[in-house]
Amino acid sequence: MSGRVALRVGPEHVGSRVVLRRRAPGGRYVDVLGELVSWGGGVARVRTRAGEASVPLDQVIAGRPTRSSCWPASRQCRTTGLHLVEGVHLV
């Protein structure tokens, strides 16, 4: 893969849930999924489950907004107000 595939996320998505795909050492690609905290100065900051990640924009090859998440599953979904029930799967 060379160059950007599709970058459909930008500063207008701050506060939204996004996924960014970036180049990693060794020719691998890594996805960063979470809430876009900031976009500027050549860096996107994303709040993930593991903490905040700073992603250099020159390493981002693709990105897009994505659906909100209800994680952790034991809490109420902040975006939709849905409460997850164990054993129930919505299709």
pLDDT tens-digit series, residues 11-54: 999 999 999 999 988 989 999 999 999 999 999 999 999 999 99
Residue 54 contacts residue 45 (beta carbons within 8 Å) = yes
Distances (CA, A) of 41 to 11, 75, 83, 91: 11, 34, 38, 40
Tell me if the pTM is above 0.85: no
